[in-house]
A and B are shown apart, each in its own frame.
Chain A
Amino acid sequence: MSIPYRVLIGKPGLDGHDRGAKFIARALRDEGFEVIYTGIRRTAAEIAATAIQEDVDVVGLSSLSGAHLRLFPEVIKELKDRGGADIPVLGGGVIPDEDKEQLLAAGLRAIFTPGTPAATIIQSFSDACKQQ
């Protein structure tokens, strides 16, 4: 039997839209991932510290309220500060196209917006985990 990948799904900031995050968490579970879910309204530092403790292969961040440009890079910085610069970070939610480039430049591995099929997202998690 193969070893399950471990991923963390986090919701940084004050955004309370958790349907997407939970949808992704369940979809990943149904594909054999072990998913640590942090719940809503976490700080970037809390998400990063949890990811390190839980030794996850990948971190996934969800944001629908518009604070992604500040919060996603902050999580990456907090991970780096804790010796986790090697952990890939994926993002998703309501994110305008013009912000995507900026997030990718800040170190996010990929960004997925509403309407993306679950299979595409799972594939992206698998690829990122495999490289770990």
Chain B
Amino acid sequence: MPVNNSNSLLKGLAARDPRAIGKAISIVENNGQGVTEILAGLDRKCIEEVLVLGITGPPGAGKSTLTSSMISQLRSDGKRVGIIAIDPSSPISGGAILGDRVRMMEHALDTDVVVRSMATRGRLGGLCASAGATVRIMAASGCEVIIIETVGVGQSEMDIVRLADITLMVLAPGFGDDIQAMKAGLLEVADFLVVNKSDLGGAEALVMDMKQIFATKEKESDIARVLQSIASENTGIKELLDAVQRFTTYLTINNLKKQRRKKAMEGETLDWVFEMLRPTLTRKLVEQTGQEQIDPRVRAKELIQQMLPINYHR
């Protein structure tokens, strides 16, 4: 029985019907029929209450494995969990192999684990354009915790910090070059640093190194921010989630979760404004003739002034 109109999809979401959840995400991702009705009709209270965790870190550090072991722990705590696993689209073909799921298949038959694999579809920054909307759809379908696994290419993946309430950076021994590249970047803004593969040599040294970087943050909230795990053996996961839980409480009582969310919503709104203006602006630009000699920045200003009453001082 095909579920298609947005009303029955919204009902299906509230009833936690897997097919409805999958369809709703596809419609939003593909900008299909009913996208506005679906997004406007989502339960705002669920969205407000959900906890969004971002998992980032270099490919191979163990993000997917860690996610799977976090799912196990959250499930034994009785939580319904959503997972958004993002992999890059090929810039040449536009296609993608979405393989994070391979490490999460033990949860495939658990109807309270909602997984969606998504491709970046040309978007930079480590997420896909519809990651935020997918979080909200999953929340409306009753998910209490949502984990987002980013592409994991490193330095420039700042989008996750904005979308997630709490960002976890996963590292492992032997990723020295990646770590150097991230020192001025994601490492500075991550809330937690997880040293995974602590069964391997070099983990202790990495922890010491990271403790130094996270010292100020640890002091500010009095919660350990550098933790160790062996994701493949489910070791250290309970401790990690306990720390995350304490940090969530810290964010909530200091009104920081609300502030982070507000910024996230504003940022995403702005992204969509630019995205929606793009086709019109592109068309106007293509229609222009004889403007090739004008400096692009000057030309941009003139183009915007034709459309909006903006006064530029520079």
Binding site for B on A (CB under 8 A): 1, 3-4, 6, 25-26, 28-39, 42, 45-46, 49-50, 52-55, 82-84, 86
Contact = CB atoms under 8 A, between A and B. Distances in A.
Contact of A52 (B18, B117, B121): B18
B23 A55 contact: yes
A53 B90 contact: no
Interface string B1-29: 11000000000000000110111011000
Nearest to A46: B108
B105 A46 contact: yes
Contacts of B1: 83
B97 A37 contact: yes
27 contacts: A3-B30, A4-B96, A29-B95, A29-B96, A30-B92, A30-B93, A31-B95, A34-B95, A35-B96, A37-B102, A39-B101, A39-B105, A42-B105, A45-B109, A46-B108, A49-B109, A50-B101, A50-B115, A52-B18, A53-B18, A53-B22, A53-B114, A53-B116, A55-B25, A83-B1, A84-B19, A86-B2
B158 interface: no
B101 A36 contact: yes
B71 interface: no
Given A26-B97, A30-B95, A52 B102 contact: no
Contacts of B98: 34-37
Contacts of A39: 99, 101-102, 105
Contacts of B2: 86
Contacts of B30: 3
Given A37-B101, A38-B102, A50 B108 contact: yes
A54 B96 contact: no
Interface residues of B, number: 31
A86 B97 CA distance: 23
Interface of A is mostly: mixed
B94 interface: yes
Interface centre among A28, A34, A84 (most CB of B within 10 A): A34
B119 interface: yes
Contacts of A55: 19, 22-23, 25-26
Contacts of A53: 18, 21-22, 114-116
Contact of B93 (A1, A31, A83): A31
B6 to A, nearest CB: 15
Given A3-B30, A4-B121, A30 B90 contact: yes
The 10 nearest A-B residue pairs measured at CB: A55-B22, A29-B95, A39-B102, A46-B108, A32-B95, A32-B94, A55-B26, A3-B30, A32-B93, A36-B98
Contacts of B21: 53
Interface of B: 1-2, 18-19, 21-23, 25-26, 30, 89-90, 92-99, 101-102, 105, 108-109, 114-117, 119, 121
Nearest to B19: A83
Nearest to B110: A49
A4 B102 CA distance: 21
A54 B105 contact: no
B278 to A, nearest CB: 12
Contact of A37 (B22, B89, B99, B115): B99
Contacts of A86: 2
A4 B95 contact: yes
A52 B203 CA distance: 40
B121 A82 contact: no
A38 B101 contact: yes
A61 to B, nearest CB: 15
Contacts of B23: 55
Contacts of B96: 4, 29, 34-35
